[in-house]
A and B are shown apart, each in its own frame.
Chain A
């Protein structure tokens, strides 16, 4: 009897399982959400008054960044929503994806299929192409001219070309905003001078000297870096010591040789410079320029710098421009300086791609038309642009002598405002009201960059990783395991460590991926001629 009861239970479970699979299927067949489902009505070129906005909708955007801790954004939203309600019968709500593990959260948000309308994206730091390949963004080629006419007109055609995935536009570029996102090390000018380093630091050896002095004289950890920074530091080294240009292939392993040799794919990891880096970093690690347990350390380098607890930090020029002002307040006289890493050997400086900042319509958006209409206004209407980017005048900023500054009685906690709109900032509105919160001498650095900058050469090249997806995943895993110990000098003998790293890369399919990228680059080159 016991046995038969068990059989019965088993039978029951099988029945239930079958039911579950069936219901699972049918549930999934429900919502459609194919790109292009929401194409505009036939004859889409019609004038604006044809567009039906009788139904009130709320448009939701997701931006990258920690959500505000005060209510300033909500108050500004009230203002812009009044205008939006009048113009397009819609409200705009901004949600945030926090910085901690932002890439995971970002990818998860796109994966869960939550209903939102627009999202910040970027080809170089937010996995735009892989997500486009996974179908996260809506094809807006036909929607743009109708629902975002101002944006459509202001972005030149060659820029739209760079936003195309399989020939369809999937994002709107932030192409009319100047910023420099080339990386470099920040160090304290006051300390450098105290140590007798009077010239600006322009090479890794002098930086090493500075760090040694920070350790000896100040008794601090010179560069209190976290383990996950290793991959960036490797990129820095390559930017310093090679002419290579990084390709937008997941994992940052593949580069092209140089600006004169744009179509030869290789990886500096297999060049001598990799061994040199490993040796130098072992030296630095042994000398104690970072924590011995850097690989397990998860603190905040920038906060340590602001608190005067460490001497070096690293990020891009744009960050430097505002960090400098903040440091002048928090560590008066610190004279924070930046060593842009390309200066080691001169001029390997490529302008960033226009899709470093971009805004896409989510594939599952219910109101893509209205989302684009709202976007068009927020980007191109000066009043709305200011509300979105600067906040409310008189509370979040005041204009003094044509510059944006903080009003009397401004309280950082209560009145600071940001919306992190990085998918469509405009130089014309920003430069009309420059902020005093940006380092006033940053222009000198920009002027220097302008002397030798080269335009981004791979605009429009989208690597299709499908044929080698497995290999790329494997390569990334190998890189994740080997780079941090090598870069922080914790891998034992540098040469042996690099050799082991290379061999594992080879075993994981390096050659196959290289050949595939080379093949796609060649095809792309041909298609352009």
Chain B
């Protein structure tokens, strides 16, 4: 994409002097010159305008004492008072750490597993088996979190759960999963992987299939075995995709998967120590206190630090490998 733009905009001359010249050209001229490009980007601009920029003034909610009658812009302004709730509740550290750690686990484990699965799929010779495996792995992605929560409850609950019924039949001690906070990081991460791996591996698999077959053939003639092919051709080939996806997902590192957490854990506060994330906290405080402003304050905190984090990671990537940075 970037190359195309350059060619069209710059005609044939070499880059640096033209860029300078270009800057002096009037705005309208540039507009005219890039007409078709602009038209092509218009739908995206409209999309982000409608869904990301129009709602943005709502951020103001976080700084007011919301009054139904007066609406958002007429309610009294109270500055950072709403943010005090975050600190006052004593949960800020717990929920932030939980959210970040869960997301790191999801992102890192998820991506590694997705790559692993994509590589394995690539090595499978039978096209039919490949299709079936893909479909089966794809399926959990489409199961709604509510159903996942129900499945988990029926599988894990103490009195009648599948797991404990089996354990009792085997004369083993049943496990009180729903009162063991330490078990939940594993359950949640596993569930997330189970849901996401099949879907995520598609991206990597597609990337693998786009490898120039000449390289692979040349390597085969040179006598590389399957492991060497994976190590020296496929994995390096996937590296840019990996970093790109990583960067994208890091932006959401403070955004939790609310559906998954809420449906698995619900209001079981014994587990909150290890399972409470920003989203569930916001939801709960909204449900208990019904205060839009405070919930907005929590969300704003989340978005703000998410943004800072993306900028930081991008800066870091730029330092190490400038080619891979997003912007």
Q: Which residues of A line the B interface, CB within 8 A?
A: 1-5, 8-9, 12-13, 16-17, 20-21, 24-25, 28-29, 33-35, 101, 103-104, 107, 110-111, 113, 127, 130-131, 134-136, 221, 227-228, 250, 291-293, 295-296, 298, 363-364, 466, 469-474, 476-478, 480-482, 484-485, 490-491, 504, 507-509
> Taking the complex as formed, is B292 at the interface, i.e. its CB lies under 8 A from any CB of chain A?
yes
| Residue from B34, B68, B268, B270 having most chain A Cβ neighbours under 10 A | B68
Closest B-chain residue to A104, C-beta based?
Answer: B287
Query: Within the complex, what minimum Cβ distance (angstroms) separates A240 from chain B?
Result: 24
Instruction: Assess whether B266 is in contact with A298, with CB atoms less than 8 Å apart.
Output: yes
CB interface residues, B 61-99, toward A, < 8 Å: 65-74, 81-82, 84-85, 88-91
Closest A-chain residue to B72, C-beta based?
Answer: A28
> Taking the complex as formed, is B49 at the interface, i.e. its CB lies under 8 A from any CB of chain A?
yes
Instruction: Assess whether B269 is in contact with A13, with CB atoms less than 8 Å apart.
Output: no
CB interface residues, B 284-299, toward A, < 8 Å: 284-285, 287-292, 294
Instruction: Assess whether B54 is in contact with A134, with CB atoms less than 8 Å apart.
Output: no
Instruction: Assess whether A2 is in contact with B68, with CB atoms less than 8 Å apart.
Output: no
Query: Within the complex, what minimum Cβ distance (angstroms) separates A368 from chain B?
Result: 14
Instruction: Assess whether A8 is in contact with B30, with CB atoms less than 8 Å apart.
Output: yes
| Chain B residue contacts of A2, Cβ below 8 A | 2, 5-6, 9
Query: Within the complex, what minimum Cβ distance (angstroms) separates A28 from chain B?
Result: 5
Instruction: Assess whether A476 is in contact with B68, with CB atoms less than 8 Å apart.
Output: no
Instruction: Assess whether A13 is in contact with B68, with CB atoms less than 8 Å apart.
Output: no
Instruction: Assess whether B85 is in contact with A473, with CB atoms less than 8 Å apart.
Output: yes
> Taking the complex as formed, is B141 at the interface, i.e. its CB lies under 8 A from any CB of chain A?
no
| Chain A residue contacts of B88, Cβ below 8 A | 470-471, 473-474, 508-509
Instruction: Assess whether A110 is in contact with B68, with CB atoms less than 8 Å apart.
Output: yes
Instruction: Assess whether A474 is in contact with B270, with CB atoms less than 8 Å apart.
Output: no
Instruction: Assess whether A474 is in contact with B67, with CB atoms less than 8 Å apart.
Output: no
Please provide the 5 A-B residue pairs with the shortest distance between their CB atoms, ordered closest to farther: A1-B9, A135-B69, A292-B158, A295-B268, A474-B88
Cα A135 to Cα B68 with chains together (Å): 6
> Taking the complex as formed, is B245 at the interface, i.e. its CB lies under 8 A from any CB of chain A?
no
| Chain B residue contacts of A490, Cβ below 8 A | 179, 270
> Taking the complex as formed, is B272 at the interface, i.e. its CB lies under 8 A from any CB of chain A?
yes
Instruction: Assess whether A473 is in contact with B291, with CB atoms less than 8 Å apart.
Output: yes
Instruction: Assess whether A292 is in contact with B287, with CB atoms less than 8 Å apart.
Output: no
Out of A5, A13, A474, A484, name the residue touching B89 (CB < 8 Å): A474
Q: A33-B69, A295-B269 are in contact. Are A20 and B90 (CB under 8 A)?
A: no
Instruction: Assess whether B19 is in contact with A1, with CB atoms less than 8 Å apart.
Output: yes
B226-241 near A? 1/0 per residue, CB < 8 Å: 0000000000000000
* Known A1-B9, A113-B68, A477-B284; 11 more pairs at CB < 8 Å: A1-B5, A12-B45, A21-B57, A111-B68, A111-B290, A292-B157, A470-B82, A473-B85, A478-B90, A485-B269, A485-B270
Count A-B pairs with CB separation below 8 Å. 172
Closest A-chain residue to B15, C-beta based?
Answer: A1
> Taking the complex as formed, is B248 at the interface, i.e. its CB lies under 8 A from any CB of chain A?
no
Q: A1-B22, A4-B30, A484-B267 are in contact. Are A136 and B45 (CB under 8 A)?
A: no
Instruction: Assess whether B67 is in contact with A135, with CB atoms less than 8 Å apart.
Output: yes
Interface of B is mostly: helix
B35-68 near A? 1/0 per residue, CB < 8 Å: 0010001000100110001101100000001111
Query: Within the complex, what minimum Cβ distance (angstroms) separates A111 from chain B?
Result: 6
Closest B-chain residue to A290, C-beta based?
Answer: B159
Query: Within the complex, what minimum Cβ distance (angstroms) separates B180 from chain A?
Result: 11
Q: A293-B157, A295-B178, A296-B153 are in contact. Are A136 and B68 (CB under 8 A)?
A: yes
Q: What are 19 inter-chain pairs, A to B, with CB distance below 8 A?
A: A2-B2, A3-B19, A28-B74, A33-B69, A103-B290, A131-B68, A134-B67, A135-B68, A250-B289, A292-B157, A296-B178, A296-B266, A469-B65, A470-B84, A473-B88, A474-B85, A484-B269, A485-B269, A507-B90
* Number of B residues with CB within 8 Å of any CB on chain A: 63
| Chain A residue contacts of B19, Cβ below 8 A | 1, 3
Cα A17 to Cα B45 with chains together (Å): 12
> Taking the complex as formed, is B27 at the interface, i.e. its CB lies under 8 A from any CB of chain A?
yes
Closest A-chain residue to B281, C-beta based?
Answer: A477
| Chain A residue contacts of B72, Cβ below 8 A | 28
| Chain B residue contacts of A104, Cβ below 8 A | 287, 290
Cα A31 to Cα B290 with chains together (Å): 24
Q: A21-B57, A293-B178 are in contact. Are A476 and B288 (CB under 8 A)?
A: yes
| Chain A residue contacts of B128, Cβ below 8 A | none
Closest B-chain residue to A227, C-beta based?
Answer: B267
Instruction: Assess whether A34 is in contact with B69, with CB atoms less than 8 Å apart.
Output: yes
Query: Within the complex, what minimum Cβ distance (angstroms) separates B183 from chain A?
Result: 13
Out of A12, A20, A470, A482, name the residue touching B85 (CB < 8 Å): A470
Instruction: Assess whether A28 is in contact with B41, with CB atoms less than 8 Å apart.
Output: no
> Taking the complex as formed, is B169 at the interface, i.e. its CB lies under 8 A from any CB of chain A?
no
Cα A485 to Cα B271 with chains together (Å): 10
| Chain A residue contacts of B89, Cβ below 8 A | 473-474, 477-478, 508
Cα A16 to Cα B73 with chains together (Å): 19
Cα A222 to Cα B281 with chains together (Å): 33
Cα A41 to Cα B67 with chains together (Å): 27
> Taking the complex as formed, is B10 at the interface, i.e. its CB lies under 8 A from any CB of chain A?
yes
CB interface residues, B 193-230, toward A, < 8 Å: none
Q: A295-B268, A508-B88 are in contact. Are A20 and B27 (CB under 8 A)?
A: no
Closest A-chain residue to B81, C-beta based?
Answer: A470
| Chain A residue contacts of B265, Cβ below 8 A | 296
> Taking the complex as formed, is B23 at the interface, i.e. its CB lies under 8 A from any CB of chain A?
yes
Cα A478 to Cα B81 with chains together (Å): 19
> Taking the complex as formed, is B139 at the interface, i.e. its CB lies under 8 A from any CB of chain A?
no
Q: A135-B68, A291-B159 are in contact. Are A5 and B37 (CB under 8 A)?
A: yes
> Taking the complex as formed, is B176 at the interface, i.e. its CB lies under 8 A from any CB of chain A?
yes
Instruction: Assess whether A469 is in contact with B291, with CB atoms less than 8 Å apart.
Output: yes
Cα A293 to Cα B164 with chains together (Å): 12
| Residue from A3, A12, A35, A470 having most chain B Cβ neighbours under 10 A | A470
Closest A-chain residue to B179, C-beta based?
Answer: A490
